[in-house]
Amino acid sequence: MSVSHPAPSSVWRAHWHGLAARERLLLQAAAAVVALALLWWWALAPALHTLRQAPARHASLDAQLHTMQTLQAQAQALQNAPRLSPEAAGRALQAAVAEHLGASARLSLQGGQATLTLQGTPANALAAWLAQARANAHAVPQEARLVRSSHTDSARWDGSLVLALPPQP
């Protein structure tokens, strides 16, 4: 003996028609609220969130673009700068040590390299010296062994930096 079951859609339809008009109205309203909530969470809220964040994101991207353009200009200036001999680069490094680092650093030149030994060198002075070494002497850092100086509260460095001097033109 086989028992036949009515189709699920006909069962639901019969149950729906068996409900009072007020119950059907409440269920339709609940379904509409759920549909609107799903529409909000999946479609509108992410779009509004993106729209609210757009000005800040745009400003951040503009700042990144400006930074990249500045770096590009620096790179082009370095590429277009006249070639220095290793001797001229060494003199420029020595002058920068005297100007920025004073007695807290010692520079030794050997072949195509310059070794800077630091002892309690202020971080901001070292940063200025590195910028000047790159711009004026065309020296490129190859190795850095730096530790924060332990005997002061301010940012000071001990250690050594090895820079490659430009090759013979």
- Rounded CA-CA distance 35/49 in Å is 20
DSSP 168: P
Confidence of residue 2 (pLDDT cuts 50, 70, 90): low
Token couple for 35? 């549909």
- Rounded CA-CA distance 58/17 in Å is 55
| pLDDT, mean of residues 114-128 | 91
Confidence of residue 3 (pLDDT cuts 50, 70, 90): low
The answer to whether the Cα torsion of 103, 104, 108, 112 is positive or negative is: negative
Counting other chains too, the contacts that 90-95 makes at CB distance below 8 Å and 24 or more residues apart are: 90/114, 90/137, 90/165, 92/132, 92/133, 92/136, 92/137, 93/133, 93/137, 93/139, 93/163
What would the pLDDT profile of 37-63 be if each residue is shown by its tens digit? 999 889 888 888 999 999 999 999 999
- Tell me the average pLDDT of the chain: 87
pLDDT of residue 68: 97
pLDDT of residue 169: 63
Strand, coil or helix: 158? strand
Strand, coil or helix: 84? coil
pLDDT of residue 80: 84
What would the pLDDT profile of 133-146 be if each residue is shown by its tens digit? 888 888 888 999 99
- Rounded CA-CA distance 44/38 in Å is 9
pTM: 0.53
Backbone φ, ψ for residue 85 (5° rounding): -80, 160
Most confident of 69-73, 108-112, 137-141, 148-152: 69-73
- List Cβ neighbours of 84 (8 Å cut-off, separation of 6 or more): 92, 137, 138, 166, 169
- List Cβ neighbours of 169 (8 Å cut-off, separation of 6 or more): 83, 84, 85
